[in-house]
Structure 1
Amino acid sequence: MQEGMDALRYRESAAPPGTVFACLWTHGHPAGAPAPLVQRVVPDGCVDVIWWARRAEVMVAGPDTGPMPARLEPGELLVGVRLRPGTAPPVLGVPADAMRDGRVPLRELWGADADRLGEALVDAGDRAAVLAGAVRARMTEGPDPLVPGLMARLEGASVRAVAEGLGVSERQLRRRALAAFGYGPKTLQRILRFQRALALARAGRPLADVAYAAGYADQAHMANEVRGLSGATIRELL
């Protein structure tokens, strides 16, 4: 991944196989730009750990329930790692719902270790790899064992059916989902379906086909859900 200020646009790279990361990424805004760059961040069930170069500070973002603006000043560079849904609590040391819709300095969770990490990244070569290594080192235990089963069963199923399949009560399912993902099962289901639809639409599928394949009742249902979660139409997000 290119890390210098010549890489001033959003770029993703694949995460190492078998890790808790969905991807590693960088994002920047040219120093000579006439105005800040404000972009829309939409819910994806993930939590991002982000180094802001100008402040040499590490922040935590998400999980989000709706659109969030991301503002980059001219000359700013961000380096981030994206944690897969349900994997953040062991890394951060707090339940995911404590971070919901939040943008919080990592020092509030890691103390002085976060400040040392932010300073170390200033002179690091592959910053994304260094950040990923620091995050991975904090995972002394795995996510809630319910996470894989919930993710596998949630598509197109009722919460009651998912709970029965996992052998837990609906109340326990909701409590553990909130702690692991930051959302109850129904909200998580909506967000994952929205992300499936967005991926299909970006791959060039007709929107009527996207609605059916993603599990919406029809295209109007998809349009309402997409706007509710992102504040935009699906075409505006492509």
Structure 2
Amino acid sequence: MYEEWASRIDGAVVWTRTTDLRAGAVYPVLPDGCMDLLWSEGRLFVAGPDTHAYVPAGGWGASFAGVRFAPGTAPAFFGVPAHELRDRRVDLADLWGGAEAGRLTERIDAAADPVAELEAVALRRTARSGPPDPLLSAVVRHLEAGGTVAGAADTVGLGARQLHRRSLDAFGYGPKTLARVLRLQRALSLVREGVPYAGAALAAGCADQAHLAREMRDLAGITLSAYAAVAKSETPQPSGSRTIA
């Protein structure tokens, strides 16, 4: 079961998921431009920005919680450029040191409400970290609205090379990849609402249904029909969910 709600951290989301390990359930994570601080039964991890579907390997527990940071906002929080975490899951200790990560893990494990404590830890850290790049926040807004990369560059007054370099630090990849990821998420949101594939493709900014199908194969590793079957059979998830069964 998956649940999510708005965090007290600006633009972030808190989420939880429980799985039935006896059923062998595995939940691939689809690219969404975000980065997460994850807690799973006594372990603190960081999920970097994905360029393709991520399938969790063994060693995970049945319960997960996370704070999902909006595209471009997590590097200031974690203190590392996003491209260094691209397509990776790493222990928080690798970024903040074993002593700090161990202390935070113990605090969350001992809390009456570990999920609330995870958010509180993130909230305190956010207050001490620097602000995200405001120009890149404007880029995200432009691309989320369906704008072009060239239009985003013009909006923030950056050349193509400057935008690409700063995007690597903020998002983990260039603006063209971010635009593809955000477009795919727009389309899948419409598919979950029951919009036909062709209509979802056009509304999201794809040329046609075939274009959307290619993006699904490239970025998500599954077909549109497979995704729709999962979205229909699983417990309804809020818009913006990163996971599928």
TM-score normalized with structure 2 length: 0.85
Which structure has the highest helix share of the two?
Answer: 2
- The answer to whether structure 1 residue 104 and structure 2 residue 95 are counterparts is no
Match of 2:30 among 21, 24, 42: 42
How far is 1:164 from its partner? 2.1
Q: Which residue does 1:236 correspond to in 2?
A: 226
Question: Does the aligned pair in 2 maintain the 1:96–1:180 contact within 8 Å?
Answer: yes
Separation (CA, whole Å) in 1 of partners of 2:89 and 2:71: 17
- 1:182 shift after superposition: 0.8
The answer to whether the 8 A contact 2:43-2:105 is kept is: yes
In the other structure, the counterpart of 1:12 is: 4
Q: 2:150 aligns with which of 157, 160, 167?
A: 160
Q: CA deviation at 1:13?
A: 2.5
Q: For structure 2, list consecutive stretches of 5 or more residues without a partner in the other structure.
A: 232-245
Q: Alignment partner for residue 120 of structure 2, among 133, 138, 158? A: 133
Pick aligned residue for 1:95 from 76, 81, 86: 81
Residue from 86, 89, 104 that aligns with 1:117: 104
Counterpart in the other structure of 1:77 = 63
Given the superposition, is the C-alpha separation of residues 189 and 146 from structure 1 closer, same or farther in structure 2, using an over 3 Å criterion?
same
Give the CA deviation at 1:113: 1.4
8 Å CA contact retained: 2:40, 2:61: no
- Shift in Å, 1:57: 1.6
- The answer as to 2:137 corresponding to 1:175 is no
Structure 1 Cα separation of the partners of residues 30 and 206 of structure 2: 19
- TM-score normalised over the length of structure 1: 0.87
Q: Secondary structure at the match of 1:224?
A: helix
Distance in 1 between residues matched to 2:59 and 2:5, nearest whole Å: 23
Q: Shift of residue 75 of structure 1?
A: 5.9
Q: Which has more strand, going by share of residues? A: 1
Structure 2 equivalent of residue 4 of structure 1 = none
Residue 97 of structure 1 deviates from its aligned partner by 0.7
Aligned twin of 1:218: 208
Match of 2:44 in 1: 58
AA in 1 matched with 2:2: Y
Once residues 156 and 10 of structure 1 are traced to their aligned partners in structure 2, the CA distance between those partners, rounded to angstroms, is 28
**Could you say what secondary structure the match of 1:78 adopts?**
strand
**Alpha-carbon distance in 2 for matches of 1:74, 1:47:** 18
Q: Deviations over 1:38-61 (max 9, x none)?
A: 2211100111111120xx120001
Contact 1:81 1:128 in 2 (8 A): no
Identity of aligned residues (%): 46
* CA distance in 2: counterparts of 1:95 and 1:42, whole angstroms: 21
Q: Secondary structure at the match of 1:40?
A: coil
Aligned to 1:150: 139
RMSD of the TM alignment (CA)?
A: 1.8
TM-superposition CA deviations, 1:105-139 (whole Å, max 9, x none) = 00111112111111111121222221112122222
Q: Tell me how far apart the structure 2 counterparts of residues 151 and 74 of structure 1 sit (CA, whole Å).
A: 32
Q: Once the 2 structures are TM-superposed, how far is the Cα of residue 156 of structure 1 from its aligned partner?
A: 4.1
Counterpart residue identity of residue 150, structure 1: V
On the 8 A contact 2:40/2:60 being kept in 1, the answer is: no
